[in-house]
Each structure stands twice: as C-alpha cells, then as structure tokens.
Amino acid sequence: QAGPAERRVPGGFSLRPALVSVVTLDNLRQGLGRGRRLIVDARAPDRFRGENETLDAVGGHIPGAANRFFRDNLAADGRFKPAEQLREDWLRVAAGRAPAELVMQCGSGVTACHNLLALAVAGLDGAALYPGSWSEWSAQPGAPVAVGS
C-alpha cells in the first residue's frame, strides 16, 4: 500500500425494512374474494392466462388478480419509463385503490419486485409483496385457479 492510511470517519446508519409489507399465503386466502386488495401478477400475459406455463405444474392465475407484465414498465430502450408515465399506468392498474391495497406477485417472487420498484419510481410506495407467488399458490391442493384474462 502506498501512502498514509485513510482515516475513516464513523457514519450514521438507520435500519428500516426494505418493504412496507409482505403478504403470506394465509393472508391471501383470508382476503380472496373480498375485494379489499388487488393482486397484481408480473408474469407474461400468456402465463397469466394459463396458456404457456413453463415452470409450475398448473397454469393460470390467482382468481381476481390483474396482470401487469413487468416489461410494461420499460421504454423501448429497456430503461424504466418516465415517472409520470409509470404513475399514469399504475393508477389505471390500481383502478381506484391506494398503493397499500396492492399486492405484487409473479411466478416465484422475483419479477414482482420489478413492479414494486416501478411503483416507487412513480411515487406510489406502499404496495405489498407476496413472495411465494404463483409457485406457492398453485402447489396448494385445492387452491382456486383462474385461466384466461
């Protein structure tokens, strides 16, 4: 190492959760059909409709869910759309619901986070994540499944 060692200055650190809330399978089951929360599925439309399930044993989606393919958050250059455009898009998806009434899911909980980030860029923080997503839901014996749009 050349030269004198750099003196490190202590800094501040505030621990806070990365997400406002995480929703479990039981939470979803309890609220299903009550209209309180909107589940938003980030998978490709063909997987959402149950036409092309490549990963899980059952195709389709959670009844009552809306589909917002995560790539719809991106402009033609592959970057996020401008914040105002994302806001308009997501307000349309939310259909009058506040962000805290939205639950993001996908196949396994990964691309749902893309939708959460898009909501944050749009200034619409507060949505929840269902990390088990379609893989967990569809693996439950007797779980209701919807197909089509």
Helix (H, G, I), strand (E, B) or coil at 72: helix
Q: Catalytic: which of 38, 106, 118, 129?
A: 106
Rounded distance, CA 123 to CA 72, Å? 17
Question: Do residues 35 and 97 make contact, with C-beta atoms less than 8 angstroms apart?
Answer: no
106 is an active site residue: yes
Sheet holding 21-22, edge to edge: 21-22, 128-129, 102-105, 38-41, 66-67
Residues belonging to the active site: 106
